[in-house]
Amino acid sequence: MEKGKKIGVLTSGGDCSGLNAVIRAVVNAASLKGWTVYGIHNGTDGLTDDLSYEELTIQNFSDTPWPRLGGSYLGSLNKGIKMESLEEVSKRFAIGVKKLGLDALVVIGGDGSMNIVSNFCRGTDIKMVGIPKTIDNDTPVTEFSVGFSTAVSVCTKAIDSLDLTARSHHRALILEVMGRDAGHLAMHSALAGQADVCLVPEIPYKIDNIIKKLKEVKASGRSHAVIVVSEGIKTETGEHLSGAKNLIGEKVYGGIGQYLSAEINSRYKEFQTRVTTLGHVQRSGTPTAFDRALATMFGAKAVDLLAEGQHNQMVIWKDGGVKAVPLDDVVKEGTTLLDPQGDYVKAAVKTGMYVGEL
Ligand code: F6P
């Protein structure tokens, strides 16, 4: 793309730490090429409802703390589009893009957003490039998404704190973490925090074997334990627990920690159990150095791709570097789950953690 082009940038899906560092990188790299950048507010809503946007320049991010903070400067939208209204929203999207005179759009989102927004773009002349972000780290092809490192760090700090209070009171403390259908966040932080048990949606488990592990801990002379559970695991009888529903009627998971606590308590009396549900603090907090550096590399690469005339691509981190893959490949793959045979699980088992029935 030559000088004088206009691009839009938006954040879509659940927020996470590092989004503002991505926005800054896109704005800086594009502005230095002489392009105009419009920040679109509240995900695609800023294009599909009443137009809501602002022009972003290097100054917007150079003398404010925003790039060092969690949240999204632009606002975001999680699961706000019903599939049955996709056609209708697509039309409004095309009108919004035309009104703003955008040549290209950088979408900072997870697997769902890549799917939905790339569908919207198909009906327009707009060139889209995606940048993966999610605390779930389940966006296909990329090894890391922006926000995951910070969320792992938040969960690990929580495990460290729980370990100390568990020690004081001789308890088995349960930490319920996010991740929806993928166990990356749970397993990564359980490894870092040296938890005794980690349960993820990808691996079935038996409560009796959790108790067996707690008995081993007790027999070893330690009278406290930490159990990490991913919100997306099912009960032993195969049910997903949930508290609420999102805007498109999907269950928002929650409650599995309490279920396990009650089950463990009723079968084994040596440890009292208590539950901490970490919730949305995992989505915020000061972004780690890794997330900020990744955000900057992704933002710069996205602008380079557009400058080279490449679009319908998503930037990725793979084999130690930043690369790009066709968005269609990302959409085709769906969600990347934790590999039960992979190195994280292997290391957990070899160091004595109960991870379920492999
Ligand atoms: O996809 C990110 C995520 O934080 C999941 O881990 C979690 O299940 C979901 O979003 C929560 O969504 P909401 O913020 O809409 O409750």
**DSSP notation for 134-162:** -TT---SS-S--BTHHHHHHHHHHHHHHH
**DSSP notation for 309-321:** T--SEEEEEETTE
Q: At 77, is the pLDDT very low, low, confident or very high (cuts 50, 70, 90)?
A: confident
Q: What is the mean pLDDT of residues 204-220?
A: 98
Using the predicted structure, report yes or no on whether residue 84 has a pLDDT greater than 60.
no
Report how far ligand 1's centroid is from the alpha carbon of 310 (Å).
31
- Report the pLDDT value the prediction gives residue 83, as an integer from 0 to 100: 56
Q: What is the mean pLDDT of residues 302-309?
A: 97
H helix intervals, 36-110: 45-48, 58-62, 86-100
Probe target for ligand 1 pocket from 283, 335, 336, 338, with the most ligand atoms within 8 Å of CB: 283
Q: What is the mean pLDDT of residues 58-86?
A: 86
Report how far ligand 1's centroid is from the alpha carbon of 293 (Å).
24
Using the predicted structure, report yes or no on whether residue 298 has a pLDDT greater than 70.
yes
Which atom of ligand 1 is the closest one to the Cα of 136? 6
The residues spanned by each domain of the chain are: 6-146+287-318, 150-282+339-350
Report how far ligand 1's centroid is from the alpha carbon of 178 (Å).
7
Q: Is the CB of 135 under 6 A from ligand 1?
A: yes
Probe target for ligand 1 pocket from 11, 78, 187, 229, with the most ligand atoms within 8 Å of CB: 78
Lowest-confidence segment of 70-74, 85-89, 233-237, 279-283 by average pLDDT: 85-89
Report how far ligand 1's centroid is from the alpha carbon of 338 (Å).
17
Q: Average model confidence (pLDDT) for the chain? A: 95
Q: At 187, is the pLDDT very low, low, confident or very high (cuts 50, 70, 90)?
A: very high
Q: Is the CB of 178 under 6 A from ligand 1?
A: yes
Using the predicted structure, report yes or no on whether residue 241 has a pLDDT greater than 60.
yes
Specify whether the CB–CB gap between 214 and 244 falls below 8 A: no
Cα radius of gyration (the chain): 22
- Report the pLDDT value the prediction gives residue 49, as an integer from 0 to 100: 84
Using the predicted structure, report yes or no on whether residue 300 has a pLDDT greater than 90.
yes
- Report the pLDDT value the prediction gives residue 205, as an integer from 0 to 100: 98
Q: Is the CB of 138 under 6 A from ligand 1?
A: no
Q: What is the mean pLDDT of residues 123-143?
A: 94
Which atom of ligand 1 is the closest one to the Cα of 253? 8
Q: What is the mean pLDDT of residues 342-346?
A: 98
| 6-146+287-318: CATH class | alpha beta
Which pair of structure tokens corresponds to residue 97? 């893009």
Report how far ligand 1's centroid is from the alpha carbon of 279 (Å).
9
**Any idea which residues carry the catalytic annotation?**
136
In the chain, the amino acid numbered 134 is: T
Using the predicted structure, report yes or no on whether residue 175 has a pLDDT greater than 70.
yes
241/277 Cα distance (integer angstroms):
13
Q: Is the CB of 246 under 6 A from ligand 1?
A: yes
Q: At 81, is the pLDDT very low, low, confident or very high (cuts 50, 70, 90)?
A: low
Q: At 357, is the pLDDT very low, low, confident or very high (cuts 50, 70, 90)?
A: very high
Which atom of ligand 1 is the closest one to the Cα of 110? 1
- Report the pLDDT value the prediction gives residue 56, as an integer from 0 to 100: 98
172/191 Cα distance (integer angstroms):
17
Q: Is the CB of 78 under 6 A from ligand 1?
A: yes
Probe target for ligand 1 pocket from 135, 176, 230, with the most ligand atoms within 8 Å of CB: 135
Q: At 82, is the pLDDT very low, low, confident or very high (cuts 50, 70, 90)?
A: low
- Report the pLDDT value the prediction gives residue 310, as an integer from 0 to 100: 94
Q: What is the CATH code for 150-282+339-350? A: 3.40.50.460
Q: Is the CB of 15 under 6 A from ligand 1?
A: no
Using the predicted structure, report yes or no on whether residue 267 has a pLDDT greater than 60.
yes
Residue nearest to atom 13 of ligand 1 (CA): 14
pTM beyond 0.85:
yes
